[in-house]
Amino acid sequence: MVQAGEELTLIVEDASLRLDKLLAQRLEGMSRSALQNLISGGFVTAGGKALAKSAKLSPGQAVTVTLPPLAEPDVLPEDIPLDIAYEDEDLLVVNKPKGMVVHPAPGNYTGTLVNALVHYCGESLSGINGVLRPGIVHRIDKDTSGLLLVAKNDMAHRGLAGQIQAHSLKREYRAVVYGGFREDKGTVDAPLGRSPADRKKIAVLHNAPGAREAVTHFFVEERLPGFTYLRLRLETGRTHQIRVHMAYTGHPVAGDPVYGPKKVITELRGQCLHAGLLGFVHPRTGEYVELSAELPEYFSRFLHKLHSKEYEL
């Protein structure tokens, strides 16, 4: 499924196809009227010029489709309890539970962390990331638990985002992954981008357009029957980075329904991954702040089962 705001390049293979038929074949999930609106709105171009639906195409020709951003609805405040690990006038750090989406998206505009933040903070959130992501400096996946930074003003947002860009923000995760490691520590340095086979997924892409540097350091905390308990430190923070990097090494995160084995550990209700430590330089005071969050109950329970050999592959 294509996403609003994306720019796609389609290479023409069959010159006998009309433009509207080409789009219908390549842009799955879009209605005929939506495709016609793209063409009539000038969002489909070749060589910088808008194309008509009857345009003659040539084999090998590159057609660019720019999907316009959707109008963003107002975010409704919702009285959802927040586990706040730190707060001052500039920022707060939330310990997000597993199962909570960070920000609203099409088909999911309620029950998110942002809905809760709008209720808790009112208008005291940075506006840099727009209407749907006020205050959100970085994000973690729905089924990943743990610490998340939220900026209350644009000064704080710029300062924290700069630390992320400079790779100086300290982010450590805990995970249970499949299999054993001979080494006690290591680094996965493999660029990531949208999977060409499935645009809902991220994949390791070497020497491919759109791939971005991604580096994950891992440290063995404990070797368990069939699994390993890891501490992981992010040098970069790409979408699904730990999950994809671990799967790439042959050690997918336990419970991961997307990058793990087909037989998913359903009792985990998603990947066994927790953002347990966050360290940053306060954008106003210049002081270093480091926070930690204990392992949540689902994670501790699974570790206990592995220790007592109650869980079998």
Q: Are strands 49-50 and 44-46 parallel, antiparallel or unpaired?
A: antiparallel
Name the token pair of 243.
């999950």
Residue whose structure tokens are 């368990």: 224
Rg (CA), the chain: 22
Instruction: Say how far apart CA 295 and CA 146 lie, in whole Å.
Output: 8
Both structure tokens of 39: 């063409």
Residues 210 and 262: beta-carbon distance below 8 Å: no
SS3 62: strand
In this structure, are residues 2 and 67 in contact, taking their beta carbons and an 8 Å threshold? Answer: yes
Q: Reduced to 3 states, what is the DSSP secondary structure of residue 177? A: strand
- Active-site choice (90, 141, 143, 256): 141
Does the annotation mark 141 as catalytic? yes
- CA pair distance 179, 218, nearest whole angstrom: 14
Catalytically active residues are: 141
